[in-house]
């Protein structure tokens, strides 16, 4: 049912329509990500998120009892899905495209927010968000890497004993080290260099 003329007239000019349920929750989660991107973990407050979502503080606290819970949900629902391994006909190109996809997830708004949280929050909270990056970025990227390697083995491009957990750790570990420890991004040229100098020699027959 649409908004009646009387309801529209009663609403202050320029105010947002009242939102409920999933629509309001999405607005709150988006506002939390926005806050993380502008003021960081230490500056984020439930009040600030409520203002950003154009709702009351009580609406936020009814759904999340702490900013840790709110941020965890915002990151969990916002991180881009890594759900399909690239297939471009060769292991080198597949690895290159997979790295670019992982980089996009790491430098998306939720990915940037997650890295900001890891740099700022205390050790107890950091452990909780480390789990998020493990399940939201590292494990999915390893699963897709496994699919690329197994496809390469089937094509005869990759040696059979390369299908090993230690091998699957290399690419995500290098990307996370550059991001979290060095604080720098991976350019397309640097991704290609890593593939050619590290991953292809590691995998080839």
For residue range 147-188, list pLDDT tens digits in order.
999 999 999 999 999 999 899 889 888 887 877 666 667 899
Structural domain spans, the chain = 15-77, 79-203
117 closest CA partner among 151, 83, 56, 70: 70
Tens of pLDDT along 73-112? 998 888 877 778 888 989 999 999 999 988 887 778 887 7
**pTM (predicted TM-score):** 0.71
- CA distances to 14, 44, 73, 77, 102 from 38, in Å: 25, 9, 18, 19, 23
For residue 13, name the pLDDT band (cuts at 50, 70, 90): very low
**Contact between residue 156 and residue 205 where contact means Cβ atoms under 8 Å apart:** yes
Q: Which residue has the higher pLDDT, 6 or 27?
A: 27
Q: Which residues contact 155 (CB under 8 A, 6 or more apart)?
A: 90, 91
CATH superfamily name and code, 15-77: Homeodomain-like (1.10.10.60)
Identify the architecture of domain 79-203 in CATH.
Answer: Orthogonal Bundle (1.10)
* Mean of all residue pLDDT scores within the chain: 83
The residue-averaged pLDDT of 40-69 equals: 93
Tens of pLDDT along 56-70? 999 999 999 998 899
Residue with tokens 């939390």: 32
Question: Between vectors from CA 61 to CA 58 and to CA 62, what angle results, nearest 5°?
Answer: 85
């Amino acid at each position: 049912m649409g908004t009646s003329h009387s309801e529209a007239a009663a609403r202050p000019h320029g105010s947002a329509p009242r939102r409920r349920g999933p629509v309001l929750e999405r607005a709150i989660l988006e506002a939390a990500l926005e806050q993380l991107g502008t003021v960081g973990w230490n500056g984020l407050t439930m009040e600030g998120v409520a203002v950003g979502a154009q709702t009351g503080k009580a609406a936020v606290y009814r759904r999340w009892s702490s900013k840790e819970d709110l941020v965890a949900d915002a990151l969990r629902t916002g991180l881009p899905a890594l759900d399909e391994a690239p297939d471009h006909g060769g292991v080198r190109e597949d690895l290159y495209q997979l790295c670019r996809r992982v980089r996009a997830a790491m430098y998306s708004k939720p990915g940037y927010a997650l890295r900001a949280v890891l740099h700022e929050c205390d050790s107890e909270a950091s452990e909780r968000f480390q789990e998020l990056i493990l399940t939201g970025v590292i494990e999915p990227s390893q699963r897709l890497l496994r699919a690329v390697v197994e496809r390469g083995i089937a094509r005869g491009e990759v040696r059979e004993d390369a299908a090993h957990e230690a091998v699957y750790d290399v690419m995500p570990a290098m990307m996370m080290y550059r991001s979290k420890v060095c604080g720098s991004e991976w350019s397309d040229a640097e991704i290609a260099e890593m593939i050619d100098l590290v991953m292809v020699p590691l995998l080839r027959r």
